[in-house]
Chain A
């Protein structure tokens, strides 16, 4: 009896929290005609028309370009952030460089509303000819991702015994070799975690995508909004839902596949051994 109650509570909570996703998913399989007659959570005549419409490449809309843009900028924004944060984290954790001021300062960047950077960045990007480029958007995303990556990596390196570095020094390793051949492999779970969090953040980023791109480098978050009124005359709910499902799929899949890596590294720091 207790067990049944427990599952009931769980089911209600799961339903309530995932309601928006369920509605979007269901709507994406409804035809335009059914949408106006059936507001319920079931589909009478499932159709893939909305998805076909989404994958239709036209002069104005190109979902493949948006997906490609998102993957590229997320890749740049994530790897660059981790590549910059990793040596910095080593210097902070081991050399105690910037531990007092630099680390809190960088971490605090996360607390500042990103919109503050919008206008100056637009001017800078215009001057540097980075507007509407994947590289430009990727660079901004690396700045957005850097603080979290830095915090994760500093903590991971702090947890490693300093004798590991010293043993490598005695073995004749240079600082760079210690970093790449000893610390990096040992910190792999933390690095993977930073990469995943960075990728998800980058993928979901909307503000800079909206501001800094117009056509060539539009990411999926911004591109998806183009579909809402694709043929004019009100929002096409079916197509809008389908594009949202397509856009949300990559990070969801990544999260599911990498879940073990994330949870593994989260506890690795907490429990020594």
Chain B
């Protein structure tokens, strides 16, 4: 079992709120990724769950038990740190067995558990090495191994891949996903890398200034962002946000630069429309929803990222097929896929679901 609940939990340093009135229910076996910009409190939140950081108010429950004041070890969680935090004076075997040794398990049991974990993580040939003799990826695997042997009810990952190079990060990401499938344990994973969040998560929690901006499946967050912050934080390259206003029942005026047909419900009064670069296409100047001049382009192999300048709407990023033909300075039209765009009001909150149910 491994359900983790936060009930109106908060963390204050002096008068500063790091985490504010946070409610979160994490189901057994769920892979939850907490993302947010630097300083949003995501690491603090993880450390509160781990018990390394005291919770100022509210409750933390693990499997229904209130552990708000419990010591880290009593919570039966394991943590993988960004810096690996391996004990430098111990071999890989001793590193992995340290927690079991403290729990006063017999030497035979410890050996069996460490051997099993080492086997699963392909660490067996490295068991007698010291951390300084390992590469970054191997160290991270040892850190994960140290977490596994204790058979915790949940795993906490604090930006575990950010010290690795890009290629290794992809490998380790796959390995963590595999680990989650085989162990079926609850995992909470903190990262600022939204690709990691999208690929690993059953559910993503987007945090900003200590508050949950939205939580849901990667698909939900990508397709139905609840607000401008989530819309722009999730997805790469960033979503384009264009100023607009309602014009009649089913029309959207792109600030005088063009008109879009959109079925708007009730008295919704969107002031901004969000459209991802991959949901925009370059067309002839006269046939698009708006037009602009090509200012720059980036060839990405599979596609081209085109930056189009419109005097009123600003710089618009369009993801065009790699074989598109256009020149810098050329006037182009931009077509917006109205079925995939999001609308936001003056406060940056998403309006209805009308554009998505078309």
Q: Is the interface of B mostly helix, strand, loop or mixed?
A: loop
A164 to B52, CA, bound (A): 12
Q: Would A167 and B81 be within 8 Å (CB), given that A172-B102, A172-B103, A186-B89 are in contact?
A: yes
Tell me if A177 and B79 are in contact (CB < 8 A). no
Provide the residues of chain B in CB contact with A161, threshold 8 Å. Answer: 83, 85
Question: Nearest chain-B residue to A165 (Cβ)?
Answer: B85
Tell me if B85 and A163 are in contact (CB < 8 A). yes
Q: How far is the CB of A152 from chain B (nearest CB, A)?
A: 18
Tell me if B89 and A185 are in contact (CB < 8 A). yes
Q: How far is the CB of B42 from chain A (nearest CB, A)?
A: 16
Tell me if A170 and B79 are in contact (CB < 8 A). yes
Q: How far is the CB of B67 from chain A (nearest CB, A)?
A: 14
Q: Would A171 and B81 be within 8 Å (CB), given that A164-B87, A186-B87, A186-B89 are in contact?
A: no
Question: Beyond the given A167-B146, A186-B89, could you list 19 further A-B residue pairs with CB under 8 A, ordered by the A residue number?
Answer: A161-B85, A163-B82, A164-B85, A164-B87, A166-B50, A166-B52, A167-B79, A167-B86, A168-B87, A168-B98, A169-B72, A169-B73, A170-B52, A170-B72, A171-B98, A172-B102, A177-B102, A186-B87, A186-B88
Q: Does A245 contact B (CB under 8 A)?
A: no
Write the residues of chain A forming the contact surface with B, with a CB cutoff of 8 angstroms. 161, 163-164, 166-173, 177, 182, 185-186, 188
A171 to B82, CA, bound (A): 16
Tell me if A170 and B83 are in contact (CB < 8 A). no
Provide the residues of chain A in CB contact with B103, threshold 8 Å. Answer: 172
Q: How far is the CB of B271 from chain A (nearest CB, A)?
A: 45
Query: Which residue, B50, B79, B103, has most C-beta atoms of chain A within 10 A?
Result: B79
Mark out the residues of chain B between 102 and 157 whose CB falls within 8 Å of any chain A CB in the assembled complex: 102-103, 146, 150
Q: How far is the CB of A178 from chain B (nearest CB, A)?
A: 10
A169 to B82, CA, bound (A): 16
Provide the residues of chain B in CB contact with A167, threshold 8 Å. Answer: 79, 81, 85-87, 146
A171 to B99, CA, bound (A): 4
Tell me if B89 and A170 are in contact (CB < 8 A). no
Q: Does B254 contact A (CB under 8 A)?
A: no
Provide the residues of chain A in CB contact with B73, threshold 8 Å. Answer: 169-172
Tell me if A173 and B85 are in contact (CB < 8 A). no
A268 to B173, CA, bound (A): 33
Provide the residues of chain B in CB contact with A169, threshold 8 Å. Answer: 51-52, 71-73
Tell me if A163 and B83 are in contact (CB < 8 A). yes
A166 to B43, CA, bound (A): 13
Chain B interface residue count, Cβ-Cβ cutoff 8 angstroms: 23
Question: Nearest chain-B residue to A164 (Cβ)?
Answer: B85
Tell me if B88 and A163 are in contact (CB < 8 A). no
Provide the residues of chain A in CB contact with B50, threshold 8 Å. Answer: 166, 170
- Mask, B25-56, CB within 8 Å of A = 1, is 00000000000000000000000001110000
Provide the residues of chain A in CB contact with B72, threshold 8 Å. Answer: 166, 169-170, 172
Q: Does B231 contact A (CB under 8 A)?
A: no
Can you offer 27 A-B residue contacts whose CB atoms are under 8 A? A161-B83, A161-B85, A163-B85, A164-B85, A164-B87, A166-B85, A167-B79, A167-B81, A167-B86, A167-B87, A167-B146, A168-B87, A169-B72, A169-B73, A170-B99, A171-B99, A171-B102, A171-B150, A172-B72, A172-B73, A173-B98, A173-B102, A177-B102, A186-B87, A186-B88, A186-B89, A188-B89
Tell me if B79 and A166 are in contact (CB < 8 A). yes
Tell me if B81 and A166 are in contact (CB < 8 A). yes
Provide the residues of chain B in CB contact with A166, threshold 8 Å. Answer: 50, 52, 72, 79, 81, 85
A185 to B90, CA, bound (A): 9
A258 to B83, CA, bound (A): 32
Tell me if A172 and B99 are in contact (CB < 8 A). yes
Q: How far is the CB of A160 from chain B (nearest CB, A)?
A: 9
Among all A-B residue pairs, the 4 with the closest Cβ atoms? A171-B99, A172-B73, A163-B85, A167-B85
Provide the residues of chain B in CB contact with A172, threshold 8 Å. Answer: 72-73, 99, 102-103
Q: How far is the CB of A246 from chain B (nearest CB, A)?
A: 38
Q: How far is the CB of A207 from chain B (nearest CB, A)?
A: 39
A169 to B77, CA, bound (A): 11
A177 to B72, CA, bound (A): 15
Query: Which residue, A164, A177, A186, has most C-beta atoms of chain B within 10 A?
Result: A164
Q: Does B343 contact A (CB under 8 A)?
A: no
Provide the residues of chain B in CB contact with A186, threshold 8 Å. Answer: 87-89
Q: Does B318 contact A (CB under 8 A)?
A: no
Provide the residues of chain A in CB contact with B88, threshold 8 Å. Answer: 186
Q: How far is the CB of B143 from chain A (nearest CB, A)?
A: 8
Provide the residues of chain A in CB contact with B98, threshold 8 Å. Answer: 168, 171, 173
Q: Does B78 contact A (CB under 8 A)?
A: yes
Question: Nearest chain-A residue to B98 (Cβ)?
Answer: A171
Q: How far is the CB of B246 from chain A (nearest CB, A)?
A: 52
Provide the residues of chain B in CB contact with A171, threshold 8 Å. Answer: 73, 98-99, 102, 146, 150
Query: Which residue, A169, A171, A186, has most C-beta atoms of chain B within 10 A?
Result: A171
A167 to B99, CA, bound (A): 10
A164 to B84, CA, bound (A): 9
A168 to B87, CA, bound (A): 9
A177 to B88, CA, bound (A): 16
